[in-house]
Amino acid sequence: MELQGRSVDSTLIGFVNGINLIDFPQKCTLGPRQQVGETAPSLSNHARLTHSSPRDLDDEASSEDLCTRHLVMSPTRYYSRGGHGHSKSKRRRIITVVQRQAANVRERKRMFSLNEAFDELRRKVPTFAYEKRLSRIETLRLAIVYISFMTDLLESS
C-alpha cells in the first residue's frame, strides 16, 4: 500500500512491520460492553465488503420483508414481540409502520456514513503489511497504535 504519496521512511516501515494487531494491548480494548470474541480478529475476510454501500437505502419493500422477523405488524402500529419483559419502559413510544420504516432508512444511512468514515480511516493508516482489507476493529486498533507511534516520534524529536 502506498503511503499517501509520502516517502516511505524507514522508521515508519519498521513501525508497520512491527504491528501486531492480534496481541493488541489489553488497555486499548473497549469497555465492559464490548462483545466477546472481538479480541483476536483474523486478517482474512474482506472481499465481499467492497459493496459497503447500503443495499438499498430507500428500498422500502426489502426492509418491509425484514420487518416481519421480529414484529407483529398491524396496518398502522408496530408491536414488539416479547416486549412485555421490559417493565422499566416508562414512556413507550408507539410508532407507525411508516415511521418505523423511515427510522430504518435513517439508520441504514447512518451506518453507511459510519462505514465511509472507516474507509477513510483505512486509507490514512499504513497497512501495507497486510494484503487484505482491515476489519473495522482492526482499523481502530491500528489507528490507535499509529497515532501513539507518531506522537512518540514527535515528542522525541
Which residues would be at the binding site for DNA (CB under 7 A)? 33, 35, 37-38, 40-42, 44-45, 47-49, 52, 54-56, 62-63, 66-71, 78-80, 83, 86, 88-90, 92-93, 99-108, 110-112, 115, 135-138
> What letter represents residue 156's amino acid?
S
Q: How far is the CB of 127 from DNA (least distance, A)?
A: 13
The residue (of 41 and 130) whose beta carbon lies closer to DNA is: 41
Q: How far is the CB of 61 from DNA (least distance, A)?
A: 10
Q: Which three cell numbers stand for residue 118?
A: 472507516
Q: How far is the CB of 2 from DNA (least distance, A)?
A: 22
The residue (of 114 and 153) whose beta carbon lies closer to DNA is: 114
The residue (of 24 and 146) whose beta carbon lies closer to DNA is: 24
Residue 72 sits at φ, ψ, to 5 deg, of -100, 120
Q: How far is the CB of 86 from DNA (least distance, A)?
A: 4
- Burial of 39 (C-beta count, 10 Å sphere; 0-12/13-18/19+): middle
Q: How far is the CB of 154 from DNA (least distance, A)?
A: 29
CA dist 15 → 8, 101, 118, 130, 145 (Å):
11, 46, 21, 13, 9
The distance between the two most distant Cα atoms of the chain, rounded to a whole number of Å, is 67
> What letter represents residue 42's amino acid?
S
Strand duo 71-73 + 78-80: pairing = antiparallel
The residue (of 132 and 152) whose beta carbon lies closer to DNA is: 132
